[in-house]
């Protein structure tokens, strides 16, 4: 039988030691079978359980769910260390360095007048960090996680497109649609009901539409990029 971690050690060190023991040859068969891919949806599930705890304002449950989410980080760190790719210390170091770089108004002499400038600086610094790498964001629409739920994806995509002047709100219709939050919520629910009644996947339909609009906005962005004189700027396409 393996002895437990030294109770005098910091809790984070005890957690890392437990994780290493679970992955050891004489450890847990289930933990030994896992890899980054097999664990990816566990992280998603833990996030949703944390959201439930936050919505319920249940501090005890929130603390437990944060622990479960931390387990995912420590698990992936252990897997990374075993592959010689990264470890928990590397993850923490990169995070600390990034937070310091992206908060020059706290850790430097940059002056900001409000949250708007904070976000603008954050995005500027992020683009500079990724410039020249395989993660460089060449389009204003880059940087949205592809696995986001379709509604979140569509809203983030629209926000980026509007900030880049790729999307403009259409003129108000003769018979305006829902305007209040309650009316919009009711309309979204009605559309979900319609999809259910007709056997359609609301998630798939919205994701497909978002991808179609994204392709059109990317074509428009590329056509209007500085230095592109091959063709006259086309009108934005939605296909």
What pLDDT, in 10s, does the model give residues 162-183? 888 887 666 555 556 778 899 9
Q: Is 200 helix (H, G, I), strand (E, B) or coil?
A: coil
Flag whether pLDDT at 126 surpasses 60. Answer: yes
Cα–Cα dist 202/185, whole Å: 15
Q: Tell whether 53 is covered by a domain.
A: yes
Q: How many structural domains are present in the chain?
A: 2
141 contacts 217 by C-beta, under 8 angstroms: yes
Q: Considering the entire predicted model, what is its pTM?
A: 0.75
Portion of the chain with pLDDT greater than 70, in percent: 91
**136-143 long-range CB contacts below 8 Å, 24 or more apart?**
139/218, 139/221, 140/164, 140/166, 140/221, 141/166, 141/214, 141/217, 141/218, 141/221
What is the pLDDT averaged over residues 132-151?
87
pLDDT, residue 164, reads 84
If pLDDT is split at 50, 70 and 90, which confidence band does 37 have?
Answer: very high
Q: Tell whether 155 is covered by a domain.
A: yes
Q: Tell whether 28 is covered by a domain.
A: yes
Domain stops at, among 65, 88, 111: 88
Q: Tell whether 198 is covered by a domain.
A: yes
Q: Tell whether 51 is covered by a domain.
A: yes
> Which pair of tokens denotes residue 23?
């992955």
Domain stops at, among 40, 72, 88: 88
Phi, psi of 28 (to 5 degrees): -85, 125
Flag whether pLDDT at 140 surpasses 70. Answer: yes
Tell me which residue of 172, 119, 149, 186 sits closest to 48, measured CA to CA: 149
Question: Do both 17 and 82 map to the same domain?
Answer: yes
Chain mean position to CA 1: 41
Question: Do both 17 and 84 map to the same domain?
Answer: yes
Q: Tell whether 105 is covered by a domain.
A: no
Flag whether pLDDT at 62 surpasses 80. Answer: yes
Alpha helices in the chain (DSSP H): 11-23, 29-33, 36-55, 59-83, 88-101, 104-107, 115-130, 150-163, 181-198, 202-223
pLDDT, residue 235, reads 47
Full residue range of the structural domain in which residue 161 is found: 144-166+191-219
Domain stops at, among 88, 106, 127: 88
CATH of the domain at 45: 1.10.287.1080
Q: Tell whether 100 is covered by a domain.
A: no
Question: Do both 82 and 148 map to the same domain?
Answer: no
Q: Tell whether 67 is covered by a domain.
A: yes
pLDDT, residue 228, reads 63
Flag whether pLDDT at 237 surpasses 50. Answer: no
pLDDT, residue 56, reads 97
């Amino acid at each position: 039988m393996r002895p437990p971690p030294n109770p005098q050690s910091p809790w984070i060190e005890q957690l890392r030691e437990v994780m290493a023991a679970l992955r050891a040859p004489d450890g847990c068969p289930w933990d030994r079978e896992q890899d980054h891919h097999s664990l990816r949806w566990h992280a998603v599930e833990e996030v949703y359980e944390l959201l439930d705890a936050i919505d319920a304002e249940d501090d005890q449950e929130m603390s437990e769910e944060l622990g479960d989410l931390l387990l995912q980080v420590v698990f992936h760190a252990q897997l990374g260390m075993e592959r010689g790719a990264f470890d928990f210390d590397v993850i923490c170091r990169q995070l600390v360095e990034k937070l310091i770089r992206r908060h020059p108004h706290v850790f430097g002499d940059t002056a900001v007048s409000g949250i708007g400038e904070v976000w603008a600086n954050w995005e500027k610094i992020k683009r500079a960090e990724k410039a020249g790498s395989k993660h460089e964001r060449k389009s204003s629409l880059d940087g949205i996680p592809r696995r986001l739920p379709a509604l979140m994806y569509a809203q983030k995509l629209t926000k980026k497109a509007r900030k880049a002047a790729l999307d403009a709100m259409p003129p108000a219709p003769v018979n305006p649609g829902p305007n209040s939050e309650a009316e919009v919520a009711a309309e979204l629910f009605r559309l979900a009901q319609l999809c259910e009644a007709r056997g359609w996947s609301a998630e798939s339909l919205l994701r497909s539409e978002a991808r179609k609009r994204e392709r059109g906005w990317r074509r428009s962005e590329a056509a209007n990029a500085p230095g592109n004189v091959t063709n006259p700027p086309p009108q934005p396409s939605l296909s």
